[in-house]
Structure 1
Amino acid sequence: MPPWLHLMAESLPSLLWAGLVFTIPLTLLSFTFGLALGLVTALVRLFGPLPLALLARFFVWVFRGTPLLVQLFVIFYGLPSLGIYLDAFPAALIGFTLNVGAYGSETIRAVISAVPKGQWEAAYSIGMSWRQCLIRTILPQATKIAVPPLSNSFISLVKDTSLAAAITVPELFQAAQRIVATTYEPLILYIEAALIYLALSSVLSHLQQRLEQRFGRYGGSLEANP
């Protein structure tokens, strides 16, 4: 076995373990919390009172207008100057959640706005309240539209979690960096890490296609007919 292949085989378990324990949980938690935050932010911008809508717009402006890496540094390295100390993983989780929430809110706001206004009027005409109309008629239709962009955001988030290495989260990329520090073989280890990310992205892209096909095939069942 060539030395480079032997090194990749030896390092693979450590990289996969780091991905399983840190990268995947960080991705799933950040996307889940970020999606919830994005939904609330989008609803506030669309239907909330002006002061809250302006606050939501400011939040989106800040987190879409600054680099994610800078946001992570502010949370992990900057907040301690204010007496707020966070471990690496919670700091990364907060940073990714806020970032996903800001970008996700724009997607959700766009897909809700894309639902024809006639759907609102039809729901109101049969006596639905605003909340019933939103939950039973608007959001199911908006969900079908949102699947492709939100799926792309999730796949991007998997790769963006590599930035957490900069604030000492021992995820997949930092695991590769630690092995490089002892083997002095950066090219081999970084290519191996890239291949793992590529494999994850490929699997998720395939699942995205299947999900889009399913929503396209059964999309009619998602639209509540008032």
Structure 2
Amino acid sequence: MDMILAHAPALLWGAWNTVAIFAATAGISLALAVPLAVIYEFGPRPAALAVATFSWTMRACPTLVLLFFAYYALPALGIFLDPVPSAILALSASGTGYNLTFIAAGLRAVPPEQFAAARALGIPSRRMYRRIVFPQAMRASLPPLMSNLTLMLKGTSLAALVSVPELTAEAYSIVSLTYRPFEILGAAAVLYLILNSLLIAVQRALERRLSPRGSAA
């Protein structure tokens, strides 16, 4: 226990970097996934096909390959990124490929009558999507979205392979100095467990808020 406490600042610093990378990748992927899902479902066919191709490519390609491409291959094109931006780019691209499919499925779950009724009432498209369509779509897509965000949180550990000082990288660095993998990696696992538990708590809160009864309240 004393050894874990001695290295706690480094582990907590790694955990903070993990949270920062996850927050950036989750925010970017969701911000991109929503309009891309709308294009995929309701856009013109060429644009929808382009979105479908992007999603298929991101889902088919391992995240580790995307990470290595961003860090090692892009410089051949004259694009040089530091480790953290490379990790955020790769993780965001991978996450967007999955998230847009979940949101698109949620949009398909909204009954067509809802669109017809909104248009019959003369509700502007932006307001229709914001007040009618997206609340129902998010109810349907929230479980797979949150499951993917959990995977994205754990996927931040891949950033250690390009020298990003996140939790796994810090834990491995400490193990290389102390030769005590059980205690250090166990402490890192506990920190990951805490972070994922907080994410699950957020999911539960969102499910209550988006439920019809919660919305009425």
Please give the TM-score of this superposition, normalised by the length of structure 1: 0.90
Question: Aligned partners of 1:84, 1:153: CA distance in 2, in Å?
Answer: 29
Is 1:42–1:106's contact at 8 Å kept on the other side of the alignment?
yes
| Preserved contact between residue 76 and residue 88 of structure 1 (Cα < 8 Å) | yes
Counterpart contact for 1:31–1:154, Cα < 8 Å: yes
Structure 1 window deviating more from structure 2 (133-142 vs 79-88): it is 133-142
CA contact (8 A) 1:31 1:97 kept: yes
Corresponding letter in the other structure for 1:151: M
Return the offset for 1:181. 1.6
Distance 1:191 1:107 in 2: 33
**For the residues of structure 2 that align with 1:80 and 1:187, how far apart are their CA atoms?**
38
- Give the length in aligned residue pairs: 216
Query: Which residue, out of 5, 12, 25, partners 2:8?
Result: 12
Alignment of 1:81-160 (within 5 A): 81-160=76-155
Identity %: 37
Q: Does 1:80 align with 2:63?
A: no
Alignment deviations for residues 82-125 of structure 1 (CA, whole Å, 9 cap, x no partner) = 22110000111111111111110001000011010110010011
Of residues 77-86 and 144-153 in structure 1, the stretch that sits farther from structure 2 once superposed is 144-153
Moved over 6 A (4+): none
- Give the C-alpha shift of residue 204 in structure 1: 2.1
Q: For 1:14 and 1:121, locate their aligned partners in 2 and report how far apart those are by CA, in whole Å.
A: 56
Measure, in 2, the Cα distance between the counterparts of 1:177 and 1:6: 18
Cα RMSD between the aligned structures? 1.5
5+ long unaligned stretches in structure 1? 222-226
Q: How many Å separate the matches in 2 of 1:84 and 1:141?
A: 41
Map Cα deviations across residues 141-199 of structure 1 (whole Å, 9 max, x no partner).
21222322222222222111111101111111101111112112223221211111012
**Alignment match, 2:166:** 171
Q: What TM-score do you get using the length of structure 2 for normalisation?
A: 0.93
Write the distance in 2 (CA, Å) between the matches of 1:17 and 1:47: 44
Bigger mean CA deviation after superposition, 199-208 or 103-112: 199-208
After superposition, the Cα gap between the structure-2 partners of 1:78 and 1:44, relative to the gap in structure 1 and judged at 3 Å, is: same
In the other structure, the counterpart of 1:28 is: 23
Q: How far 1:26 sits from its partner (Å)?
A: 0.7
1:54 positional shift = 1.3
Unpaired segments ≥5 residues, structure 2: none
Match of 1:224 in 2: none
